[in-house]
Amino acid sequence: MSGTKKIIQILSKLVLISFLLYSCVGSSSVGVFGSGVSIAFDPRTVGMQIDDSIMQKNLLSRLALTEKKYFLSISVKVLDGNIFLSGKVNEPEEKLKITKLAWETKGARSVKSAIAIKGQTNFKSTAKDILITSQLRTALIFNKAIKATNYNIDTINGKTYIFGIAMTNDEKKEVIKEGDEVYGVKKVIPSIILVEDLSRVKN
């Protein structure tokens, strides 16, 4: 095993430990394109960022009004009107209901869901998913050909969902390649938009 791979594994485990400790006291993450992405590296115009943020907050509000628990259990990311959902629910009907609400959001161009049914996951699989996500996140950070801040990663039952913006097609391929190389990943499901395909970009 190369020195770089060892470093990535060590850092990934540290990230996992930090995540588990943080989770114990309770946390809620809005998502990379809601508040986490670095504005300096975000290729979207300020207007598009505002529009996406408004869509995200509107959908989160509607979810909370439908069921208060959704505000904490469901994560919503919006990129150029494209909505990405993740999290866990108790019943398949809830997943359908949430997806329907997302499609009904004004300005929605597409909806992709990585929402899992709780009965289909357990603590062991969840721990593996968190480790996979942290390993991939670390790999993206160390890859100089990738702007890691422009990507959000969710892993559910070994399936890794990558949502974000690629500056070039080569970067998009590189991100998917990094995902495929993470041990334990069953499938990489990318929702990566190229900068050139955004409806509005920075000059």
Residue keyed to tokens 């997302």: 102
Encode pLDDT of 46-80 as tens digits: 889 899 999 999 999 999 999 989 988 999 999 99
Q: Whose CA is closest to 9, among 181, 188, 173?
A: 181
Domain-wise residue ranges, the chain: 42-119, 121-197
Q: May I ask the CATH class of domain 42-119?
A: alpha beta
Strand partners, 77: 84
> pTM of this prediction?
0.72
The continuous run of DSSP H or E covering 55 comes out as: helix 46-66
Q: Do domains 42-119 and 121-197 have the same CATH topology?
A: yes
d(CA 154, CA 5): 21
d(CA 145, CA 171): 6
Fold of domain 121-197: Histidine-containing Protein; Chain: A; (3.30.1340)
The continuous run of DSSP H or E covering 59 comes out as: helix 46-66
Encode pLDDT of 78-136 as tens digits: 999 999 999 989 999 999 999 999 999 999 999 999 898 887 777 888 899 999 999 99
Q: How many helices (H) and strands (E) does the chain have?
A: 6, 6
